C-alpha cells in the first residue's frame, strides 16, 4: 500500500482543492445545462476526502499503467491522485460542465493531460470496457442505475470500489473503514468482477446469492 507523507498530502491538497473551495469555484448552473442536470443527474456532488481517496485506490490495488475510471468525477481529485501517486492512466466522467471544466483546468495546471482525461457526459452513455478499476461515490440511486453498465462492460478481473454505498445485489470481496473528516468513518467496498461461463450461475459475477 502506498503511503502519502505529510508534505505530499499538503501539496496535493493545494493542487486539488478541498470540496467547499471547489463548490465556490464552479458558480451557478443555468439554462440548458441546468435542465440536463435536473433530468440526468444520478447523485448530488459527493467529495471524497483526500486521505480516503488514497485509501480507496490502494484498496483497489491500483497498479502503474492500469486504467482507472471515476464515475461522477467532480473536481477531479480521484483521477488526479490515481495518475500522480499510483502511476495509472485515469478517465473521469462528469455530467456537470462546471466540474468538468474545473477538473480539466487542474489537470492542465498539473501537467497531467497525457495521463488523465475528463469526459463531460452521462455515465450511463459511456463505454467502460477499458477500465481496470472503477471508483464510485454516489447515492444508492446512482449505484443502482450504474450496475447494468458495469455488468455489461467490465471484464474479468476488473475491480470496483465504492465509498459508503453498496452496489445492489453484488457481494463485495472486501470491506474496510477509513477515517475521514471530523472523525467520520467512510466504508469502502471492493468488488472483483468474475464473469460466468456457460452453465454457471450468474451469482458468480458477484451478486448476492
The answer to whether the CB of 114 falls within 8 A of the CB of 94 is no
Of 26-35, 55-64, 154-163, give the lowest mean pLDDT range: 26-35
182 confidence band (pLDDT: 50, 70, 90) = confident
- Separation of first and last alpha carbons in the chain: 31
Average pLDDT for 75-82: 97
Phi and psi, residue 3, nearest 5°: -115, 145
- Reduce the DSSP state of residue 131 to 3 states and report it: coil
Share of the chain above pLDDT 90, in %: 64
Q: Which three cell numbers stand for residue 76?
A: 477531479
- Provide the CB-side half-sphere exposure for 151 (13 A, CA): 17
* pLDDT category of residue 13 using cuts at 50, 70 and 90: very low
93-140, pLDDT tens digit by residue?
Answer: 999 999 999 999 999 999 999 999 999 999 999 999 999 999 999 989
pLDDT at 205 over 70: no
How big is the chain by its Cα radius of gyration, in Å?
Answer: 17
What average pLDDT does the segment 56-69 reach?
Answer: 98
| pLDDT of 10 | 36
Band (pLDDT 50/70/90 cuts) for residue 204 is: very low
Amino acid at each position: 500500500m502506498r503511503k502519502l507523507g505529510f508534505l505530499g498530502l499538503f501539496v496535493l491538497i493545494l493542487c486539488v482543492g478541498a470540496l467547499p473551495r471547489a463548490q465556490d469555484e464552479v458558480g451557478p448552473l443555468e439554462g440548458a445545462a441546468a435542465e440536463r442536470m435536473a433530468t440526468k443527474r444520478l447523485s448530488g456532488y459527493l467529495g471524497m476526502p483526500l486521505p480516503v481517496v488514497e485509501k480507496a485506490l490502494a484498496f483497489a490495488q491500483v497498479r502503474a499503467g492500469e486504467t482507472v475510471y471515476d464515475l461522477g468525477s467532480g473536481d477531479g481529485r480521484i483521477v488526479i491522485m490515481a495518475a500522480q501517486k499510483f502511476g495509472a492512466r485515469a478517465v473521469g466522467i462528469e455530467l456537470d460542465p462546471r466540474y468538468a471544466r474545473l477538473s480539466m483546468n487542474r489537470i492542465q495546471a498539473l501537467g497531467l493531460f497525457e495521463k488523465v482525461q475528463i469526459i463531460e457526459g452521462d455515465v450511463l452513455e459511456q463505454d467502460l470496457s477499458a477500465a481496470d478499476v472503477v471508483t464510485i461515490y454516489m447515492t444508492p440511486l446512482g449505484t443502482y442505475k450504474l450496475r447494468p453498465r458495469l455488468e455489461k462492460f467490465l471484464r474479468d478481473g476488473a475491480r470496483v470500489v465504492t465509498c459508503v454505498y453498496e452496489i445492489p445485489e453484488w457481494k463485495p470481496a472486501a470491506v474496510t473503514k477509513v477515517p475521514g473528516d471530523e472523525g467520520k468513518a467512510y466504508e469502502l467496498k471492493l468488488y472483483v468482477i468474475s464473469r460466468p461461463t456457460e452453465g454457471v450461475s450468474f451469482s458468480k459475477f458477484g451478486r448476492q446469492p
